[in-house]
Amino acid sequence: MAPFAPGTFGTLAAIPVYLLMSGLTLEIYLLITIIAFLVGVFLCDKTARALGVHDHSGIVWDEIVGFLITMVAVPLDWRWIVIGFVLFRLFDILKPWPIKWADQRLTGGFGIMFDDVLAGIFALIVLHLMLSMF
């Protein structure tokens, strides 16, 4: 319920979650991330219905999952965390196609979650391209 930039604060809340998960094997990390997505579809749908608002700014579970996707197989280093954070926020805010399409057309808990999944995938790709260069 941040008074401004709730998505950014939600993504900040994802950093400790990522730090807790960073020592896991890739398979376990992915499994937890997939479970978080599936739980998020249910929780976001239930919360949006209760609030009467499709994607209420107080719903940030989608940012947490999106950031976890961004950070898949990224080395644990504060610089990569910052870059991943910035990339995810940029894609989540700017919403290039098909993120914007998903945000505008998909409804319910899946719609709330899926645009952030796409933003996470875009950020993941850019982050891994950067990792391959350095």
Is 42 part of a structural domain of the chain?
Answer: yes
What does the pLDDT look like over 7-38, one tens digit per residue?
Answer: 899 899 999 999 999 999 999 999 999 999 99
- Identify the domain containing residue 120 by its residue range: 6-133
Count of domains observed in the chain:
1
pLDDT score recorded for residue 21: 98
- Residue 97 backbone zone (phi > 0: left; psi -120 to 50: alpha; other: beta): beta
Evaluate whether residue 67 is within a structural domain. Answer: yes
pLDDT, tens digit, 9 for 90 and up, residues 32-75: 999 999 999 999 899 888 887 666 667 789 999 999 999 999 99
Residue 31 belongs to some domain of the structure: yes
**Angstrom distance (rounded) from CA 83 to CA 35:** 25
Residue 45: phi and psi, rounded to 5, are -65, -45
Report yes or no on 102 lying in a domain: yes
The pTM (predicted TM-score) of the whole model is 0.93
Q: Average pLDDT of 111-117? A: 94
CA distance 68 to 76: 13
Question: What are the pLDDT digits (tens) for 76-110?
Answer: 999 999 999 999 999 999 999 999 999 889 988 89
- HEC string of 70-120 equals HCCCCCCCHHHHHHHHHHHHHHHHHCCCCHHHHHHHCCHHHHHHHHHHHHH
Q: Which pLDDT does position 89 carry in this prediction?
A: 97
- 3-class secondary structure, 5: coil
pLDDT at position 3 is 66
Q: What CA–CA distance (Å, rounded) separates 91 from 120?
A: 8
| In a domain? residue 1 | no
Domain-embedded: residue 93: yes
